[in-house]
């Protein structure tokens, strides 16, 4: 049983700095992050990357979006997946597709072509959530989702998966076992140190490969991001 959640979303793509200001220092930091991920992929191929945070309002969805654009700008066929089946956010930054989204794939109401739409950025494709389900946790743990990820990895060079905060619900932990690697977003002026440590520990336990943290400071005069590898 599904419930429809109809909500008008105001699009705000101004924060897609890599798309709008590709020559800015901030865009260069995202490109450096892409290079770091590709270097780590030499020994063990990374095609799917989960992005989560300890708490809400840490900027994880915005970082997921800009990171996906940075991969796409390298000529990589990139898919951005909104796997937050509780409070989807990716639709804020990209035009609303009429496609059935991730839930359409899970319910077998659509194939990849019907569920995914191409963004305004070349090489970047979007898979939105679709209809928000009543029971996200059980859906995310299903064998059907594993099949979907296998199909997606065969169709795309890179897949960026935006998930709910890992300390809020179990979704990110479940999905981290289906993706090749994971990143944790920490907001410097917001995330409590102990909660950041706890989130890191959970990702280390559940992920195939925990890459480290992206530090996000949204209150500076200009947004700033910093990447730190896991020791």
Tens of pLDDT, residue by residue over 201-215, are 999 999 999 999 998
Q: How far apart are CA 192 and CA 197, in angstroms?
A: 9
Fold of domain 45-229: Rossmann fold (3.40.50)
pLDDT of residue 119: 92
Q: Which residues of 111-124 are buried (b: 16+ CB within 10 A; e: fewer)?
A: ebeebbbebebebb
Pick the more confident residue, 218 or 25: 25
pLDDT band at 1 (very low <50, low <70, confident <90, very high): very low
Any idea which of 7-21, 63-77, 206-220 has the lowest mean pLDDT?
7-21
Domain residue limits, the chain: 45-229
pLDDT band at 10 (very low <50, low <70, confident <90, very high): very low
Q: How far apart are CA 211 and CA 231, in angstroms?
A: 9
Give me the chain's average pLDDT, please.
85
pLDDT of 124-179, one tens digit each?
999 999 988 888 888 888 899 999 999 999 999 999 999 999 999 999 999 999 99
pLDDT band at 12 (very low <50, low <70, confident <90, very high): low
Is the pLDDT at 32 greater than 70? The verdict is: yes
Opening angle at CA 150, ends 144 and 154, nearest 5 = 145
Tokens encoding 178? 């289906």
């Amino acid at each position: 049983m599904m419930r429809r959640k109809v909500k008008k979303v105001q699009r705000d793509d101004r924060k897609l700095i890599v798309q709008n200001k590709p020559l800015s220092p901030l865009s260069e930091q995202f490109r450096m992050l892409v290079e770091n991920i590709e270097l780590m992929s030499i020994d063990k191929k990374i095609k799917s990357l989960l992005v989560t945070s300890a708490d809400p309002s840490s900027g994880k969805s915005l970082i997921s979006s800009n990171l996906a654009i940075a991969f796409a700008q390298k000529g990589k066929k990139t898919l951005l997946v909104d796997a937050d089946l509780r409070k989807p956010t990716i639709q804020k930054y990209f035009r609303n597709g009429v496609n059935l989204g991730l839930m359409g794939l899970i319910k077998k109401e659509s194939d990849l072509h019907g569920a995914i739409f191409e963004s305004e950025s070349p090489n970047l494709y979007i898979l939105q959530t679709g209809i928000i389900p009543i029971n996200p946790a059980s859906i995310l743990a299903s064998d059907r989702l594993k099949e979907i990820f296998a199909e997606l990895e065969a169709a795309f060079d890179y897949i960026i998966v935006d998930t709910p905060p890992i300390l809020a619900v179990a979704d990110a932990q479940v999905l981290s076992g289906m993706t090749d690697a994971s990143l944790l977003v920490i907001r410097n002026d917001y995330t409590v140190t102990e909660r950041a440590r706890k989130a890191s520990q959970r990702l280390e336990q559940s992920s195939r490969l925990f890459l480290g943290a992206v530090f996000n400071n949204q209150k500076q005069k200009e947004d700033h991001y910093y990447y730190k590898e896991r020791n």
